[in-house]
């Protein structure tokens, strides 16, 4: 069993093709030196080794390309397709500080989504909790005035409440008495835009990530965290 396991591990090794290449090259080198292989055989073997080397290079380039793609997942700005994804969502969850910017930029989309029967969930900091507002004000690049932040949140709440009354749509609002460490937008449970909040940033907080189920464990961890935060929110009825 131990030998079979080691063999299986060797076959799955990322460098398996290089091991084979080196071994075959060594064998034919020895055969050529001692005169046990004809010239035509050595030429064919050399061509085969070159082909194997080419495939190995292709695999290496793909691995490098994947590494570059993984590094580029950390963004300084929001994904260019985020707005379009939100506009056609059937289920949208927002968790953040105030939603002031998002509510302003997608006002028409929110109304259209609610009228079409989409489910929207929004959670932001409780504007009446002074200690939480003071802490939340420190992660906004637009300033650190707690009173200003509380006023923005109350304005967004009033606008959302108006939209809910106007459309009769499925809009749930919750407030949080903790400061989220990350802002999350979850679209249809299949796309997550996550923004790490910085302490007193000089610009847009970051990094910003866009994740889908194919991204594996991190997508599922952010999705689970979003639901945990939502569960801990306090329902707000207006």
Kindly state the tokens that stand for 150: 């509380």
Looking at 118-221, which runs of residues are DSSP E strands? Answer: 119-125, 170-176, 182-187, 191-196, 208-211
171: tokens are 């809009």
Residue 11 pLDDT more than 90? no
Confidence of residue 192 (pLDDT cuts 50, 70, 90): very high
Put the strands of the sheet holding 191-196 in their side by side order. 208-211, 191-196, 182-187, 91-95, 119-125, 170-176, 234-235
- 184: nearest Cα among 222, 215, 154, 158: 222
Which of 215, 199, 197 lies closest to 207 in space, CA to CA?
197
Contact 123, 211 (CB under 8 A): no
CATH of range 82-235; options 3.30.70.20, 1.10.3470.10, 3.50.50.60, 3.30.870.10: 3.30.870.10
Instruction: Read off the pLDDT band of 153 (50, 70, 90).
Output: very high
Mean pLDDT of the chain: 80
Q: What's the burial of 3, exposed, middle or buried (CB within 10 Å: 0-12/13-18/19+)? A: exposed
- Which string of b and e fits 30-55 if b means at least 16 CB within 10 Å? eebeeeebeeeeeeebeeebeebeee
What is the rounded distance in angstroms from the CA atom of residue 144 to the CA atom of residue 107? 25
The pTM for the full model equals 0.69
Q: Where in the chain is the domain with CATH 3.30.870.10?
A: 82-235
3-state secondary structure of 160: helix
pLDDT, average across residues 200-219: 86
Locate tokens 């079409």: which residue? 116
Q: At 180, list the tokens.
A: 């989220």
Digit-coded pLDDT (tens) for 44-92: 656 565 565 655 666 555 554 554 444 456 778 889 999 999 999 999 9
Better-predicted residue by pLDDT, 151 or 205: 151
pLDDT in tens, 117-127: 999 999 999 99
């Amino acid at each position: 069993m131990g030998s079979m396991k080691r063999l299986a591990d060797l076959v799955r090794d990322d460098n398996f093709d290089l091991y084979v290449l080196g071994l075959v090259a060594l064998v034919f080198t020895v055969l050529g030196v001692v005169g046990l292989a004809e010239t035509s055989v050595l030429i064919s073997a050399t061509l085969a080794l070159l082909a194997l080397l080419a495939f190995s290079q292709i695999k290496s380039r793909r691995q490098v390309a994947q590494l570059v793609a993984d590094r580029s997942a950390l963004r300084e700005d929001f994904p260019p397709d985020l707005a379009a994804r939100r506009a056609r969502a059937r289920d949208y969850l927002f968790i953040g500080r105030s939603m002031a910017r998002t509510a302003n930029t997608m006002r028409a989309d929110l109304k259209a989504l609610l009228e079409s029967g989409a489910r929207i969930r929004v959670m932001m900091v409780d504007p009446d909790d002074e200690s939480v507002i003071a802490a939340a004000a420190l992660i906004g690049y637009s300033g650190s005035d707690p009173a200003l932040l509380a006023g923005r949140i109350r304005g967004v709440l009033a606008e959302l409440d108006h939209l809910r009354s106007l459309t009769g749509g499925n809009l749930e609002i919750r407030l949080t008495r903790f400061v989220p460490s990350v802002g999350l937008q979850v679209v249809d449970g299949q796309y997550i835009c996550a923004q790490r909040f910085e302490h007193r940033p000089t610009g847009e907080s970051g990094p910003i990530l866009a994740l889908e189920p194919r991204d594996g464990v991190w997508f599922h961890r952010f999705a689970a965290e979003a639901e945990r935060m939502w569960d801990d929110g306090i329902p707000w009825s207006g």
